[in-house]
A and B are shown apart, each in its own frame.
Chain A
Amino acid sequence: MRCEQVRKQYDPTCEPPRAVAEHLARCARCRQEADELQQLVALLRSEPEVAVPADFNRQLHRRLEAVRTRSSSWWRLGDMRYALPLAAMLVLAVATVIFVNRPDSGTAPQPGPSLVRAPAQLDEDSAVALKKTEVAAVRSATPRTPARASDRTSPSLRTGRAAPVLSEEAVSRIPPPLEGSEESPILLLIREPSGSEERLVKLPSLVVGAEAKPMTLSLSLSEKETENVF
């Protein structure tokens, strides 16, 4: 038997197998290692026993009661460690929804043209007819009065500036919405800087944000008037 095998097989806590014992009898080095391992085990086993504190059971009882209380309070009241963060998250979520959907969320009122959102799509003929009536309405606009049409202006404009004068009359001439239509064209009320004149313009539906397509302005607006708008 080789030394390496003896090192693997020798166990100081057990009677060695005959082959190991024979090797130890003739190999001084392995015998010394075996002696040291035996001393080591004796040293480890000589460790005095650790005594538990006198109030071990009493401490344990207190901890057990605490565990029981915690466990029962979970069913009774819910575990506040989780309930509080959950409640906070719920409040935050509700607040976020309210903030995002508030009427004047986002931008501050900007000076600019007044917008009247038409309730539904207009067909071509109606649009052409509307052009004339709109212009006529604008040109015949009477002195301004508080307009109920402010209800129909876009939210940002409700808080921005005074409602346009002719809105009510002009919008009243808009044909009723087509059933099932999803399109909602924009009517643009142009007010001269001096405030002496206003015009209503129907913008095509290809309007993204404030980026309108001036070429689609179907009224015979001059370049100057268009610049006034945007």
Chain B
Amino acid sequence: MAMEAVSYQAPLGEVVSPRYGALDDHELMDAIRQGDEAAFYELVQRYRTPITNYLTRMLNDYDMAIDLAQETFIRIFTSAHRYRADHRFSTYIYRIATNLAISELRRRKRWRLVSLVSFFAPPEGAEEGAELDVPDQRPLQERALIDDERRQMVRRAVASLPEKYRAALVLRDIEGMEYERIAEILRLPLGTVKSRINRARRLLREKLRAHL
């Protein structure tokens, strides 16, 4: 995972000491457990962008992704005393973010929130892999517009996947994680993770065939 600059501007204007940059995630968690807030913001600095990206792909909702990313860090801080360094820290933080995202998806499902995603969800009884949309074949469109449209389509298609496929696919094909780590994050057997990702890709291929 790409690390950002060691020194950064923490909230309220103070500059975090560069010495935290030399500490690994577990050592930072130890410091946070002792109440060291600067160590906490070092962790925030390291993970805020990948976690926000991951949540944005999961939810297709930037504002909610920011909200849940912050909630993820708050949980890291408030439960630091329970943290155990028996896995990678990144596994731990992605697991928290995944749980928050899935809770949000289920909440939306319960309350039947109307969103763009719902228009792309397969209707009851319909084929799961039904094609999303017919591409606009009109000539003379700007390349940027086409790319933008395609990106939007990809996001909606990913967001329309069932949640059990979505998390695995996003972690593998967008975040680029190893299968073993995904299995740790999702607490699933390796074979289950691979088959879910395979299934998710084939569903997406059906939805986006016109754009491939």
- Which residues of A line the B interface, CB within 8 A? 7-8, 11-13, 33, 36-37, 39-41, 43-45, 47-53, 56-61, 63-64, 67, 71
Decide: A57 near B66, CB < 8 A? Known: A47-B57, A51-B49, A52-B48: no
- With A50-B53, A56-B66 in contact, is A61–B12 under 8 Å at CB? yes
List 20 interface pairs A-B (beta carbons < 8 Å), by A numbering.
A11-B194, A33-B205, A36-B212, A39-B212, A40-B205, A43-B150, A44-B154, A44-B158, A44-B204, A50-B53, A52-B52, A53-B66, A56-B44, A56-B66, A57-B10, A57-B41, A60-B73, A60-B74, A63-B71, A64-B74
In the complex, whether B95 has a CB less than 8 A from a CB of chain A is: no
B84-92, B134-142, B168-176 - the one binding chain A: B168-176
Does any Cβ of A come within 8 Å of B185's Cβ?
Answer: no
Chain B residues whose CB sits within 8 angstroms of the CB of A60 once the complex forms: 11, 44, 70, 73-74
Q: In the complex, A115 Cα to B204 Cα: how many Å?
A: 88
Question: In the complex the two chains form, is B12's CB within 8 Å of A37's CB?
Answer: no
List of A residues within 8 angstroms of B204 by Cβ: 40, 44
Which A residues touch B97, using CB under 8 A?
Answer: none
Mask, B195-210, CB within 8 Å of A = 1, is 1001001101100110
Q: Which 4 pairs, one residue from A and one from B, show the smallest C-beta to C-beta distance?
A: A61-B11, A44-B173, A57-B11, A39-B212
The answer to whether A50 and B62 touch (CB under 8 A), given A40-B201, A41-B173, A58-B11, is yes
Interface check B56, CB cutoff 8 A? yes
Known: A37-B201, A56-B48, A58-B11. A47 touches B66 (CB 8 A): no
- In the assembled complex, the Cα of A48 lies from the Cα of B57 at a distance in Å of 11
Residues of chain B touching chain A, judged by Cβ–Cβ distance below 8 Å, are 9-12, 41, 44-45, 48-49, 52-53, 56-57, 62, 65-66, 69-71, 73-74, 77-78, 150-151, 154-155, 158, 169, 172-174, 176, 194-195, 198, 201-202, 204-205, 208-209, 211-212
A residues within 8 A CB of B158? 44
Contacts of B154 in A (CB 8 A): 43-44, 47
A11 touches B198 (CB 8 A): yes
Chain B contacts for A67, CB-based, 8 A: 74, 78
Are B49 and A13 closer than 8 Å at their CB atoms?
no
Give the docked Cα–Cα distance between A81 and B154 (Å). Answer: 43
Task: State whether A50 and B56 are in contact (beta carbons under 8 Å apart), knowing that A56-B48, A57-B41, A63-B70 are contacts in the complex.
Answer: yes
Other contacts beyond A41-B201, A57-B45: 9, CB < 8 A: A40-B204, A44-B158, A44-B173, A44-B174, A45-B173, A49-B53, A50-B56, A57-B48, A67-B78
In the complex, A94 Cα to B62 Cα: how many Å? 51
B-side contacts of A53, CB under 8 Å: 66
Chain B residues near A12 (CB, 8 Å)?
Answer: 201
Complex interface: chain A residues within 8 A of B69 (CB): 52, 56
Of the candidates A43, A48, A52, the one whose C-beta lies within 8 Å of that of B66 is: A52
A206 to B87, CA, bound (A): 78
CB nearest to B54 among chain A residues: A50
Q: Tell me which residues across on chain A come within 8 A of B202, comparing CB atoms.
A: 7, 37
Q: Which residue of B lies closest to A58 (CB)?
A: B11
- Interchain CA distance A45-B44 in the complex, whole Å: 24
Contacts of B71 in A (CB 8 A): 63
State the Cβ distance, A69 to closest chain B Cβ, in Å.
13
